[in-house]
A and B are shown apart, each in its own frame.
Chain A
């Protein structure tokens, strides 16, 4: 490693900015009858800047436009809809309109290849020209081996997705993203489909992984507790159309003890978030509070 050029994933140089983002979608068939517009505004003038490594939680009721925003940051465009309707995304100060090499996404549906072992799924990106060019074969193998251990899949590396639990599959998906040492990791409700205990394990794993490989993580959730347990910064989005309703930092180091979670300071934050969501007319969607 050179000391002058920060290696990828060291998280020293990173900037992601949304400027005046507006997103409108065509109204679903049937619902436009009687209304004056056939378009529905999902995101309304969102501007925000992330300029250092850390875990940013994007919290909002389901259906409020979180995935829409996250996909925009990742340069993943839905077919047939102009995204964003207006506004710009900048990565490292450069206008971004396409999938970016330094930005990797992890979805709730983990999209592991059913025919490949956990190991081969984690090594999947190295089948692509882009990553074969950037990472040598030996380096790729070393990264995959190390990552299998980091996510605790050592004993399961040769099993296929159908033979793994939901949590283990999500470990595979997380590992596949992190072997690329992205400077920006975008996570869309990655633990949303897991049971409470597995979700907590995965939250712990993510904060461990973050400590050994810091980067900018933008993490979408509709779970208030998850936001408070993981976030260095929490951005609260109002219900449709999504606007930034609150934005605050949490300085408590991770892992955050259950004592901290029960502290009056944390309770106050939770109250504040719920009040913001309800005050912003957020009753259209639901947020979850797990204990």
Chain B
């Protein structure tokens, strides 16, 4: 009997790429057919070709001699980068402290954990009230949206390290901080890196929300603006560019993680 279903079946990178490309292609073709047959109004669903030409127009506007898309992308990337830096600089040490000390964890987790399921988008009006509509509000919003995921994940990364490492270091005369620094933290690093990757990825899903308010620059503004003028093709361009940026960020950070932590747990 041949095994038709094997969850552990190895798959070649080539087969994986082919299957992935095929399913994307199927969706594109279906999309093209639906819009070619005018099954859905053009104002609701632009054709793939419309979206492509909108992309080209946004990428380079010959009359004005500028690239709206490039400018918008730079703004969005800069906001994500600024908030990402804050998340790492503040969130990682906080998570490490919570993971290393049950007391600090007990004290802080009621302030952190519930916000993982808080409607962060609903917090936006409050932030606007407190911080205004400028960059501070936008970066703070992205920061809050991501840090509530990051801190618990970093904490869990430390708590997942078997206590034998801590005990061993302690027996060799390590101070509590040295035991954390030299025996627990290094082993938690790959999972901390995963936490950072998740947190930054989450920011790409929040970026448009942050940029809807006082929309002046950025991909969120581009989408908002296009919607106001019912330019659905441009809305699609904005969404695809954000997805592409998120994928590039994820791919780059995952590759960096693999290079920095090439070892496996025994």
Contacts and interface: CB of A to CB of B under 8 A. Distances in A.
A64 B172 CA distance: 26
B172 A180 contact: yes
B168 interface: yes
A180 B172 CA distance: 9
Given A112-B266, A115-B263, A104 B172 contact: yes
B140 to A, nearest CB: 35
Contact of B263 (A104, A111, A160, A180): A160
Contact of A162 (B162, B171, B261, B263): B263
B178 A129 contact: yes
Interface in A111-126: 111-115, 124-125
Contact of B266 (A76, A107, A114): A114
A107 B164 contact: yes
Interface centre among B175, B263, B264 (most CB of A within 10 A): B263
Contacts of A162: 263-266
Interface residues of B, number: 23
A130 interface: yes
A127 B165 CA distance: 15
B86 to A, nearest CB: 27
B164 A111 contact: yes
Contacts of A180: 172
Contacts, number: 69
A74 interface: yes
B172 A128 contact: yes
A111 B261 contact: no
Measured as residues with beta carbon below 8 angstroms from the partner, the interface class of chain A is 20 to 34
A115 B165 contact: no
A128 B182 contact: yes
Contacts of B170: 76, 99
A115 B186 contact: yes
A229 B171 CA distance: 28
Contact of A130 (B173, B183, B186): B173
A114 B173 contact: no
Nearest to B170: A99
Given A114-B187, A162-B263, A127 B182 contact: yes
Contacts of B165: 111, 113
A180 B265 CA distance: 26
B178 A128 contact: yes
A111 B168 contact: yes
A75 B173 CA distance: 11
B253 interface: no
Contacts of B169: 128
Contact of B168 (A107, A160, A169): A107
A229 B64 CA distance: 89
19 contacts: A75-B171, A76-B171, A101-B173, A104-B172, A105-B168, A107-B167, A109-B164, A114-B187, A114-B264, A114-B265, A124-B182, A125-B172, A125-B173, A127-B178, A128-B175, A128-B178, A129-B175, A160-B263, A162-B265
Interface of A: 74-76, 99, 101, 104-105, 107, 109, 111-115, 124-125, 127-131, 160-162, 169, 176, 180
Going nearest first, the 4 A-B pairs with the smallest beta carbon separation are A130-B173, A111-B168, A111-B164, A161-B266
Given A111-B164, A128-B175, 13 more contacts: A76-B170, A99-B170, A101-B173, A105-B168, A109-B164, A114-B187, A114-B266, A115-B187, A124-B182, A125-B172, A128-B182, A131-B173, A162-B265
